[in-house]
C-alpha cells in the first residue's frame, strides 16, 4: 500500500484516514521512561506488539533498551528482517509449523520464548532450537502461564536439564493490572504478584537452579515491579503512544503519565444535522475494543459511535461542530489494534510530515 502522505507535506494536506505519529511527543515519551528509570537496577525490553515497526524498535534500542518483545513468531520475523537481533517472544509458541520457524529464527538472532507446559517444552526441545526458554507465571490475569511456586519451578528444572536450551528466567506479566484505574489498586495487585515471583525464585534457588531474569510489566505498572525488587527487566509497550484508555488511569510523579503521540487523522465527510458530523474513520481506522476514540483538542465534541467506515461525532450545546471537509485528530481508544490497521506511520513534527515508517509486522498473527 502507498503511504497516505509524502515527506514535506503539511499535516492538513494528508489524505485520510491516516495514522499520525507526533515525533516530538514520541521522543519525549522515550526520554520520560529513561529518566524515570535512571539509577534503577532494571533493563528495558519494550514490547514491539504495540508498534510492529523496526524503525521504532531501533529508536527504543538507541534509548537504552536491551532488545524487544514480540508476541508472535511472524512479528519476530518482521522485526529480525528489519535489523533487530535480540527478541523475546513473550508468549507460548505451539504447533510444528511455528516451532520450525522459531528454530530458524534462532539461527539468526538471540531469541527467547515462553512455556507454561511440559509437553510444549518437549516439542521445542525436540526441534533442536538453541534459545532462551522462560517459564511464564500465571499471576492472576487469567491468560497463559503456569501456577507460581513448585509447578513453575518443576518446569524450569526441565529446561535447565536440557542439553541445548537455556533457562532464561521467569516471564511475569500482569495484564489485568495495567488498567486498574487507581494507583493503589495497581500497587496492591503488583505487590501480590511480586510475592508469587519471589516464592518461585526461592524454590528454584533451593533446588540449585538460578533464575537469570524475571521479566514482565507494562506501561500502567512498571514502577511498582521495579520498586518491588523482584523484576530485572520491564516490557512496556503503550508508553510510546499513550492511548485514550491509558489516559483514564490515575498517574503520579512516581509512575509518569506519558503523552498522546499517536493519532488518527480523519475528515468530516457529512453534516446530517446541526450537532452531528460524520467522519471517515470508523472501526476499520481506530479500534473500539477499549472504548471510542477521543477527539483531540476539541472540547464538547464526542465520538459516540463507530461503524465500519464511519464515525459519528456529537457536539454538546455551544461546542463547535466540524465543517464539511474539516480535518480532526482522534486519539485511539487502544493503540495496539489501531496500529495493526495501517501500513504506514505518517511521522509529523510541528505540523509537517518528516518521515514515513512502514509497519512491517502489520497483520503478523501467526
Ligand atoms: C506479555 C506482555 N508484556 C508487555 C505488554 C505491554 O503492555 P503495555 O502496552 O500495557 O505497556 C503486553 C501487552 O499486552 C504483554 O502482553
Q: At what angle do helices 183-206 and 150-161 cross, to 10 degrees?
A: 50
Relative to the CA of 235, which ligand 1 atom is closest?
4
Q: What is the pLDDT of residue 253?
A: 85
Residue 20 has pLDDT above 90, yes or no: yes
Average pLDDT on 89-115 reads 98
Q: How far is the CA of 178 from the centre of ligand 1 (A)?
A: 8
DSSP readout, 37-48?
TTT-S-EE--BT
Q: What is the pLDDT of residue 254?
A: 86
Who's near 161: CB < 8 A, 6+ residues apart? Answer: none
Q: Which of 237, 258, 335, 336 to probe ligand 1 with, by most ligand atoms within 8 A of CB? A: 237
What distance in Å separates the CA atoms of residue 63 and residue 66, rounded to the nearest whole number? 9
pLDDT, tens digit, 9 for 90 and up, residues 315-330: 999 999 999 999 999 9
Q: What is the pLDDT of residue 344?
A: 98
Across the chain, what does the average pLDDT equal? 97
Relative to the CA of 90, which ligand 1 atom is closest?
1
Q: What is the pLDDT of residue 74?
A: 98
CB distance 72 to ligand 1 below 6 Å: no
Average pLDDT on 160-166 reads 96
pLDDT, tens digit, 9 for 90 and up, residues 35-84: 999 999 999 999 999 999 999 999 999 999 999 999 999 999 999 999 99
Vertex 107: Cα angle to 101 and 111 (nearest 5)? 75
What distance in Å separates the CA atoms of residue 180 and residue 188, rounded to the nearest whole number? 10
Residue 4 has pLDDT above 90, yes or no: no
Q: What is the pLDDT of residue 161?
A: 96
Q: How far is the CA of 362 from the centre of ligand 1 (A)?
A: 17
CA distances from 277 to 288, 291, 319 (A): 18, 19, 12
Quick one: pLDDT band at residue 32, thresholds 50, 70, 90?
Answer: very high
Vertex 138: Cα angle to 361 and 144 (nearest 5)? 40
Output the nine-digit C-alpha cell for 151. 509447578
Residue 146 has pLDDT above 90, yes or no: yes
Q: What is the pLDDT of residue 2?
A: 86
CB distance 235 to ligand 1 below 6 Å: yes
pLDDT, tens digit, 9 for 90 and up, residues 204-239: 999 999 999 999 999 999 999 999 999 999 999 999
Average pLDDT on 234-255 reads 96
Q: Is 191 helix (H, G, I), strand (E, B) or coil?
A: helix
CB distance 148 to ligand 1 below 6 Å: no
Average pLDDT on 109-123 reads 98
Residue 152 has pLDDT above 90, yes or no: yes
Q: What is the pLDDT of residue 1?
A: 81
Amino acid at each position: 500500500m502507498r503511504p497516505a502522505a509524502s515527506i514535506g507535506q503539511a499535516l492538513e494536506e494528508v489524505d485520510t484516514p491516516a495514522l499520525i505519529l507526533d515525533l516530538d511527543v514520541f521522543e519525549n515519551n522515550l526520554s520520560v521512561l529513561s529518566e524515570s528509570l535512571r539509577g534503577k537496577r532494571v533493563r528495558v525490553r519494550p514490547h514491539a506488539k504495540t508498534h510492529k515497526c523496526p524503525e521504532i524498535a531501533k529508536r527504543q534500542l538507541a534509548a537504552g533498551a536491551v532488545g524487544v518483545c514480540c508476541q508472535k513468531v511472524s512479528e519476530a520475523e518482521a522485526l529480525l528482517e528489519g535489523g533487530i537481533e535480540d527478541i523475546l517472544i513473550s508468549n507460548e509458541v505451539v504447533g510444528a509449523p511455528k516451532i520450525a520457524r522459531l528454530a530458524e529464527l534462532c539461527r539468526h538472532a538471540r531469541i527467547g520464548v515462553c512455556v507454561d507446559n511440559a509437553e510444549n517444552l518437549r516439542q521445542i526441545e525436540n526441534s533442536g532450537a538453541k534459545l532462551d526458554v522462560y517459564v511464564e507465571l500465571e499471576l492472576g490475569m487469567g491468560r497463559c502461564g503456569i501456577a507460581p511456586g513448585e509447578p513453575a519451578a518443576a518446569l524450569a528444572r526441565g529446561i535447565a536439564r536440557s542439553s541445548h536450551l537455556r533457562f532464561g528466567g521467569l516471564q511475569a506479566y500482569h495484564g489485568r493490572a495495567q488498567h486498574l484505574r487507581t494507583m493503589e489498586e495497581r500497587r496492591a495487585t503488583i505487590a501480590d504478584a511480586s510475592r508469587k515471583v519471589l516464592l518461585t525464585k526461592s524454590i528454584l534457588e533451593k533446588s540449585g537452579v538460578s533464575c537469570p531474569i524475571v521479566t514482565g510489566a507494562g506501561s500502567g505498572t512498571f514502577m511498582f515491579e521495579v520498586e518491588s525488587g523482584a523484576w530485572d527487566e520491564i516490557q512496556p509497550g503503550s508508553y510510546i503512544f499513550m492511548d485514550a484508555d491509558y489516559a483514564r488511569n490515575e498517574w503520579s510523579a512516581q509512575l509518569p503519565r506519558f503523552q498522546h503521540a499517536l493519532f488518527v487523522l480523519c475528515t468530516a465527510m457529512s453534516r446530517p444535522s446541526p450537532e452531528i458530523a460524520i467522519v471517515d474513520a470508523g472501526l476499520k481506522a481506530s479500534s473500539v475494543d477499549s472504548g471510542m476514540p477521543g477527539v483531540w483538542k476539541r472540547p464538547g465534541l464526542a465520538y459516540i459511535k463507530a461503524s465500519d467506515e464511519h464515525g459519528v461525532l456529537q457536539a454538546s450545546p455551544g461546542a463547535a461542530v466540524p465543517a464539511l471537509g474539516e480535518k480532526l485528530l482522534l486519539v485511539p481508544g487502544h493503540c495496539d489494534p489501531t496500529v495493526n490497521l495501517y501500513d504506514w506511520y505518517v511521522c509529523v513534527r510541528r505540523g509537517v510530515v518528516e518521515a514515513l515508517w512502514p509497519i512491517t509486522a502489520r497483520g503478523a498473527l501467526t
